[in-house]
Amino acid sequence: EAGVTQFPSHSVIEKGQTVTLRCDPISGHDNLYWYRRVMGKEIKFLLHFVKESKQDESGMPNNRFLAERTGGTYSTLKVQPAELEDSGVYFCASSRLGQFTGANVLTFGAGSRLTVL
Amino acid sequence: DQQVKQNSPSLSVQEGRISILNCDYTNSMFDYFLWYKKYPAEGPTFLISISSIKDKNEDGRFTVFLNKSAKHLSLHIVPSQPGDSAVYFCAASAGAQKLVFGQGTRLTINP
C-alpha cells in the first residue's frame, strides 16, 4: 500500500507570506495527525482528525495555523501569515480508526520542511 | 513543560557493541511507550513498544526496558550495526491519546 504522502517536501518563504502544506494519508486511515519538529527539539503534536472532524487541536500554536480535512481524505495545514518561529519540519501521520492504542504504529510521512526567512 | 526527555543529544558506539538510549518521563498517566527511528529526509518509523504493565519487551536485537518507579525507559541495541545510525525518538501516550515525543538522540555506529 502507498504510504503517507506529504508535499511540498521543502518550502522557503518570507515572513508574512502564506504556505499550505498537504498530507495524503494511507487510504482507509481515518485518523490523521499533524506534528511539528523545530530544529533539534522534540516532535510536537499539533492536531488530530478523525475523518473530517477535529478530535484534538490542543497543540495548534495560534490562530495563524488552520488545518482542514474536507471529505475526510487529504488534509491541509495553512500558515498565514508565517513567522520566523514557524520554521521546522511538519509531519503528518495516519492510522486506522480504533487501531491507535498507543501500542500501534502510526505511519508517518517524510515531512514538509518549512523555512521562513 | 516537557513530559518526555531524552537528555543525550548524541551517542557514538562501535559496531558490534551495545547501544543504550535513555528516556525519562514525568507523567505517571502514560501507559504506553514507543521508540521510533528516523533517517534523514524520512519520517519516523516505529521500532518497538512496551506497555506500562511490563518491564521488558524484546524484538530481535532491540530490547526496551521500563522502570516505572524511576519513570525511566531505555532501548538496548545488541549488536549495533552501521544501519542503526539514525535519530531515535522516545514517545509515550496516555489512554490511547496523542503521542508525546522526546527530543531525539542521534546514534552513530562506527565501523
CB distance from A2 to chain B under 8 Å? no
| Chain A residues touching residue B95 (CB < 8 angstroms) | 102
Would the pLDDT of A101 be above 60? no
Q: What pLDDT was estimated at residue B87? A: 97
Judge: A100–B2 Cβ closer than 8 Å, yes or no: no
pLDDT 10s digits, A75-100: 999 999 999 999 999 999 998 876 55
Judge: B32–A102 Cβ closer than 8 Å, yes or no: yes
Q: What pLDDT was estimated at residue A115? A: 97
Would the pLDDT of A11 be above 70? yes
Q: Do B11 and B58 form a contact (C-beta atoms < 8 A)?
A: no
| Residue B70, C-beta contacts closer than 8 angstroms, at least 6 positions apart | none
Distance from the B78 Cα atom to the nearest Cα atom in chain A, whole angstroms:
23
| Out of B42, B96, B101, closest to residue A100 by CB | B96
| Residue A13, C-beta contacts closer than 8 angstroms, at least 6 positions apart | A19, A82, A114, A115, A116, A117
Amino acid at A58: S
CB distance from B43 to chain A under 8 Å? yes
Judge: A103–B44 Cβ closer than 8 Å, yes or no: no
A41-79 CB burial, b ≥16 within 10 A, e <16:
ebbbbbbbbeeeeeeeeebbeeeebebebeeeeebebeb
Q: What pLDDT was estimated at residue A2? A: 80
Q: Do B15 and B110 form a contact (C-beta atoms < 8 A)?
A: yes
Question: Rounded to whole angstroms, how far apart are CA atoms A76 and A112?
Answer: 12
CB distance from A111 to chain B under 8 Å? yes
Report residue A104's pLDDT band, with 50, 70 and 90 as the boundaries.
Answer: low
CB distance from A33 to chain B under 8 Å? yes
Q: Residue B52: is it exposed, middle or buried by C-beta count within 10 angstroms (0-12/13-18/19+)?
A: middle
| DSSP 8-state secondary structure symbol assigned to residue A72 | G
Question: Rounded to whole angstroms, how far apart are CA atoms A109 and A5?
Answer: 6
Say which residue, A30 or B80, is predicted with more confidence.
Answer: B80
Question: Rounded to whole angstroms, how far apart are CA atoms B94 and A85?
Answer: 29
Question: Rounded to whole angstroms, how far apart are CA atoms A113 and A88?
Answer: 6
CB distance from B70 to chain A under 8 Å? no
Report residue A103's pLDDT band, with 50, 70 and 90 as the boundaries.
Answer: low
CB distance from A39 to chain B under 8 Å? no
CB distance from B101 to chain A under 8 Å? yes
| Predicted confidence pLDDT, tens digits, chain B (111 residues) | 789 999 999 999 999 999 999 999 999 999 899 999 999 999 999 999 999 999 999 999 999 999 999 999 999 999 999 999 999 999 998 876 789 999 999 999 999
> What phi, psi does B77 have (nearest 5°)?
-120, 115
Grid coordinates standing for B75?
532501548
| Out of A9, A45, A109, closest to residue B99 by CB | A45
Q: What pLDDT was estimated at residue A20? A: 98
Would the pLDDT of A44 be above 90? yes
Would the pLDDT of A45 be above 80? yes
